[in-house]
Amino acid sequence: MRILGIDPGYAIVGYGAIEYEGNQFTTLAYGAVTTQAGVPFERRIEQVYDGVCQVIDCYKPEAISIEQLFFTTNQKTAIMVAQARGVVLLAAMKRGIPIFEYTPLQVKQSVVGYGKAVKHQVMEMTRILLHLKEVPKPDDAADALAIAICHAHAAGSSINKNMILQAVGKKPLYDSKGGNLTDGQRNLLRAIAASEETVKGKSTSKTCGGRSAKK
């Protein structure tokens, strides 16, 4: 499965593209879409949208994972980041790519195994899991890669694998309690099932202005 993780913002939007096959990670590239201070906010939002669209078109992810917003202090900043996050979601929806959202707690738990891990622990474990020589920079890109890893782990769980088998077999899909699956769960199945049928050996030489992985 090809996953694009995104750390939303209006000044810096971190992104990280990875492949996850057979419990193995391959880092395709990482980087950031940036906007300049002093530029009218609506123009910065447009630049975020255009930049994210370029990244999506380059790496053609089968799923996009993005962190849920969590602010406790600066409401003005929260609103501006939320608006930037909105155009990121719009870019994905316009291309029909499933979107999956994770809380900071879920990302820490998935990457480090501890929901209260501090930032440098998450960044170092991201480096280790992706077999990189150094922690990705900028920090926003490292965060985006961690979010992508979180989705890879969620999508690769044994529960989801069982669901995929049902999807591939075109059987009715129900949850463990006999209820119908949610749209989000169905999107997850479609994305993973599609990745199972994708021909192996996709090119990873394109960087689209980002930084290709160096092992």
156-180 residue pLDDT tens:
764 455 544 454 454 444 444 445 5
Tell me: do 16 and 76 sit in the same domain.
yes
Tell me: do 151 and 166 sit in the same domain.
no
131-152 residue pLDDT tens:
999 999 999 999 999 999 999 9
Contact predicate 196/63, CB 8 Å: no
pTM of the complete model: 0.76
Tell me which residues are annotated as active site.
7, 67, 140
The pLDDT score that the predictor gives to residue 75 is 79
Handedness of CA 90, 1, 123, 204 (dihedral sign): negative
The pLDDT score that the predictor gives to residue 194 is 54
Q: Is residue 212 assigned to a domain?
A: no
Structure tokens at 45: 């939002």
Tell me: do 95 and 168 sit in the same domain.
no
The pLDDT score that the predictor gives to residue 175 is 44
The pLDDT score that the predictor gives to residue 205 is 42
Low-confidence ranges of the chain (pLDDT < 50): 158-159, 163-165, 167-168, 170-178, 195-205, 214-215
- Number of folded domains in the chain? 2
The pLDDT score that the predictor gives to residue 77 is 84
Q: Say whether 174 sits in a helix, a strand or coil.
A: strand
Tell me: do 31 and 98 sit in the same domain.
yes
Q: Is residue 120 assigned to a domain?
A: yes
Range of the domain at 88: 2-156
Structure tokens at 74: 């600066």
